[in-house]
């Protein structure tokens, strides 16, 4: 999961300098997703050489959660991509990141630090809405929004918003996120330059 988080964090650093600061931030009340002790996990089975992902919110200050995560990655292409990400540590097949800052509120999720800073999702968005990314000409775009509980998540059917980011970052072509207002990011798909697609489920626990 650390790898996923790393990439997920990668997708939060690209915002246009001409945009207002408010375009890069999300308002709202504190969400349980961002409270200290909240854990994040993924599949118990290896996916494309990625396994043993785990992450946890270690602190919460002024509405911003700090997350530490780690993952085992044997996929050399993925490790090469992550080697270009500031703050990511790679030791053999062990990949880790510390102090990744994310804001979780009742209105959405915002990536704060260190990668691709800006709104990841605004729950009030409509299909076609875009979110600028700081210091970048790329954007995140809403490509789908449920009107019924049509997404299978564990034992539930839930509503989701799907966000696409054509990131074009050192071998990573695109990231697509599936997000729910209660359960957070429930799925991420990474499309590489070689057209390989890696799809990972995510599960937030403890405080949810």
Let me know: does 174 contact 167? Beta carbons within 8 Å: yes
pLDDT single digits (tens) 91-129: 999 999 999 999 999 999 999 988 889 999 999 999 999
Given a cut of 50, whether residue 16 has pLDDT beyond it is: no
> What is the model's pTM?
0.87
Predicted confidence band of residue 206 (pLDDT cuts 50, 70, 90): confident
Task: State the pLDDT at residue 53.
Answer: 96
Stretch 119-146: mean pLDDT: 96
DSSP for 94-142, please give it.
Answer: EEEEEEEEEEEBSSEEEEEESSS-EEEEETT--TT-EEE-TT-S-EEEE
């Amino acid at each position: 999961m650390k790898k996923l988080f790393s990439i997920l964090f990668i997708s939060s650093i690209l915002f246009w300098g001409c945009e207002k600061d408010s375009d890069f931030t999300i308002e709202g009340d504190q969400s349980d997703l961002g409270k200290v002790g909240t854990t994040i996990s993924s599949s118990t089975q290896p996916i494309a050489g990625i396994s043993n992902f785990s992450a946890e919110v270690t602190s919460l200050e002024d509405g911003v959660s700090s997350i530490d995560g780690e993952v085992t990655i044997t996929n050399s292409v993925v490790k090469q991509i992550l080697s270009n990400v500031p703050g990511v540590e790679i030791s053999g097949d062990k990949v880790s990141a510390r102090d990744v800052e994310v804001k979780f509120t009742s209105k959405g999720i915002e990536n704060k630090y260190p990668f691709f800073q800006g709104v990841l999702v605004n729950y009030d968005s409509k299909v076609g809405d875009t979110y600028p990314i700081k210091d970048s000409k790329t954007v995140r775009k809403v490509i789908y929004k449920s009107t019924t509980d049509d997404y299978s998540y564990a034992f539930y059917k839930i509503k989701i918003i799907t966000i696409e980011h054509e990131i074009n970052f050192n071998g990573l072509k695109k990231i697509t996120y599936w997000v729910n207002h209660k359960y957070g990011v429930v799925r991420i798909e990474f499309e590489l330059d070689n057209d390989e697609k890696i799809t990972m489920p995510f599960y937030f626990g403890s405080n949810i």
